[in-house]
Amino acid sequence: MTNLDYDLIIVGAGSAWYPAWMYASRYKLKNLIIGAQPGGALATSHKVENYPGTISAPGKEIMDWFKDHAEQSGSEILSELVEKVEKHEDHFHVTTATWKELKAKYVIIATGNNHRPLWAKWEQEFMGKWVSYCATCDGMFFRNRDIIMVGWWNTAITEALYLADICKKVYLVHRKDTFRAENSWVEKMKATENIELVLNEEVEEITWDALGMTWVTLKSWKQLKADWIFVAVWTIPNANIVDSLNLEKDNEWCLIVDSRQETSLKGLYAAWDITTNSNKFKQTIMSAAEWCLAANSVHEDNLR
């Protein structure tokens, strides 16, 4: 029998790893958390208004509360990137970016998503120059300036609202005239004076000179004047660390898990944005629940 370092290694420091940690520690599983960006995606959100018990707070603040709570339970944390997860007989090897190789009986991964590009020519050509994906990260550079947001889900709308507080004008460009977002956000957006909805439109091309973007031309050939374009569309699961395990995935590359959060490989569990169980409803309350469920399933397996 191999000498294992841990019962459980949890990979990902996203919005719900704290609950998994809390549960795993309460079950007295010897566990380690390895994660790169503490707090994950939610920590980048300027305002969250749908987490129970919290009327309105920055995502980072909510994540700090999660962390304070979980720290009471005690666990080890390693702030690092994981390079790969491999299975060796009845246990897993987790290799980090600094070549630490750690062995555990069970692994839970929840490495979230990456922004999905539109794959438009203008986006690929000018990425980082006049186009980016994270308004929360870059919005402050555009104080009192005009920007364009492309998207139609909650993230695009909440980020447009965030930008409206900073920028002079926000054009929200969407290829349809209906949104796949919560109505309360849509209503807030419509009531915000400096957000202009540009519907049934798509960005077609960017023209520029030595000073920056001159015009943004839309599909209808209408032109907008703006300093930057933010893109907030769909995302792709960030599951490359388990590529060599050939796990079952759906047609959107989400890991298929059963009702206990177990993947197609025994002993490997996955939670939230990278899984199918989420029903693609990517919200923190759901992710917290999946993490707890995964930790509970590890506990049940460990008793067998």
Ligand X SMILES: Cc1cc2nc3c(=O)[nH]c(=O)nc-3n(C[C@H](O)[C@H](O)[C@H](O)COP(=O)(O)OP(=O)(O)OC[C@H]3O[C@@H](n4cnc5c(N)ncnc54)[C@H](O)[C@@H]3O)c2cc1C
- Options 64, 138, 146, 301, the catalytic residue: 138
Work out whether 25 is an interface residue with ligand X (CB under 6 A): no
Closest CA to 225 of 148, 119, 165, 163: 148
Distance CA 195, CA 187 (A): 12
Work out whether 4 is an interface residue with ligand X (CB under 6 A): no
Identify whether the C-beta of residue 149 lies closer than 8 Å to the C-beta of residue 159. yes
Distance CA 21, CA 31 (A): 8
In the bound state with ligand X, the residue whose beta carbon lies nearer, of 151 and 201, is: 151
Using the contact rule CB under 6 A, the part of the chain among 19-27, 40-48, 201-209, 248-256 near ligand X is: 40-48
| H helix or E strand, kind and range, residue 300 | helix 284-303
Using the contact rule CB under 6 A, the part of the chain among 38-46, 99-107, 125-133, 164-172 near ligand X is: 38-46
- Options 68, 90, 137, 165, the catalytic residue: 137
Question: What's the min distance (Å) between Cβ of 68 and ligand X?
Answer: 17
Amino acid at 44: T
Question: What's the min distance (Å) between Cβ of 154 and ligand X?
Answer: 7
Q: Could you say which residues in the range 97-116 bind ligand X, by CB under 6 A?
A: 110-113
How many residues interact with ligand X (rule CB under 6 A)?
A: 35
| H helix or E strand, kind and range, residue 157 | helix 154-166
Q: Is 167 a catalytic residue?
A: no
In the bound state with ligand X, the residue whose beta carbon lies nearer, of 110 and 226, is: 110
| H helix or E strand, kind and range, residue 186 | helix 183-190
Work out whether 82 is an interface residue with ligand X (CB under 6 A): yes
Work out whether 238 is an interface residue with ligand X (CB under 6 A): yes
In the bound state with ligand X, the residue whose beta carbon lies nearer, of 156 and 224, is: 156
Residue carrying the six token digits 């002993």: 267
Amino acid at 207: T
Work out whether 161 is an interface residue with ligand X (CB under 6 A): no
Closest CA to 260 of 277, 246, 274: 277
Q: Could you say which residues in the range 283-302 bind ligand X, by CB under 6 A?
A: 283-285, 287
For 56, phi then psi, to 5°, come to -160, 125
Q: Is 137 a catalytic residue?
A: yes
Distance CA 206, CA 274 (A): 33
Using the contact rule CB under 6 A, the part of the chain among 139-147, 190-198, 254-262, 277-285 near ligand X is: 277-285
Task: Give, in order, the Cα–Cα distances in Å from 294 to each of 36, 40, 110, 155, 278.
Answer: 20, 18, 10, 26, 13
Residue 153: partners with Cβ closer than 8 Å, 6 or more residues away = 179, 180, 181, 232, 233, 234
Work out whether 16 is an interface residue with ligand X (CB under 6 A): yes
Site string for ligand X, 242-271 (x = CB under 6 A): ------------------------------
Identify whether the C-beta of residue 78 lies closer than 8 Å to the C-beta of residue 33. yes
- Interface residues toward ligand X, by CB under 6 A: 11-16, 34-37, 40-42, 44-45, 48, 50, 81-82, 110-113, 136, 155, 158, 238, 241, 272-273, 282-285, 287
Active-site residue set: 134, 137-138
